[in-house]
Amino acid sequence: MDITDLFNMSQPEGDKQKELIRQLAILGIKNPSLCFQCAKCTSGCEAMKLLELQPHSIMASVKTGFIEEVANSDVIWTCIGCYKCKERCPQEMSPVEVMFILKNWYVASGKSIPGDYQNLLQGILSKGYIQEPLEVLDKNNEKWNRRKLGLSDLNYPKNMNSFMSALTELAAEKL
């Protein structure tokens, strides 16, 4: 019995790890097992200083099969999605996209969606955009909207019902 077996015994998440690797492959991203923990991702991470995100630790966890631990932690929601980790990884790994997938799982498991994501999603499902055109104030507190500025009206999906039904059907499918 070696150390890998011990990990598997204490945290039997081999299936989840396989599923993660499968989903990454669909997106054209390599298996996290190739990560050699150089921590270049963490050294450049935009969320490291303020929010203590350490992408290389995330990679270490998923590589050793501790998926659920990461998927349920708040830390994956601190990722800004700046893609520096993906850009700079010498092994062509993508911590940012590992976190996107795990956040997708978190949401699919029915847990409440953090922050304002619920509003963004609601906006898209009901209008097609994250928000409706806002009336904005200039420095003199004068109000402006698209029409007053001479901009054409914003166009929306022509058939909102089929647009929404496409999205809700996809939400129930696996990547």
Partner 1 sequence: MAKELGLYPGCVMSTEQYAYELSIKNVIPDFNIKLVDLDNTSCCGAPIRSINLLMQMYLAARNIAICEEKGLDMYAPCSLGHLSLTETKNRLNNSKELREKIVKKLKEKEGLEYKGEIRIYHTVDLLYDIIGLEKIKKKVKKPVKWKIACHYGCHTVRYTDAGRPDRAEHPNKMEEIIKAIGGETWNYSEKLNCCGGPLMVTHREAALTKAGEKLKAIKDRGFDAIAIVCPYGGRMLDGRQDKAASTIGEKLGVPVFYLTQLIGLAIGKKPEELGLHLNLSPVDKLI
Applying CB under 8 A, which residues contact partner 1?
Answer: 26-28, 46-47, 50-51, 77-78, 80-84, 86-87, 100-101, 103-104, 107-108, 113-117, 120-121, 123-124, 128-134, 136, 138-139, 144, 146, 149-152, 154-159, 162-163, 165-167, 169-171, 173, 175
Of the pair 69, 116, the CB lying nearest partner 1 is at 116
Strands (E), the chain: 136-137, 143-144
**What minimum distance in Å lies between the beta carbon of 162 and partner 1?**
4
Q: What is the DSSP letter of 134?
A: P
| Contact in structure between 32 and 91 (CB atoms under 8 Å) | no
Q: What are phi and psi of 33, to 5 degrees?
A: -65, -20
- Tell me, what amino acid is at 71? A
Of the pair 8, 78, the CB lying nearest partner 1 is at 78
d(Cα 34, Cα 63) in Å, to the nearest integer? Answer: 8
**What minimum distance in Å lies between the beta carbon of 24 and partner 1?**
11
| Contact in structure between 136 and 123 (CB atoms under 8 Å) | no
Of the pair 39, 84, the CB lying nearest partner 1 is at 84
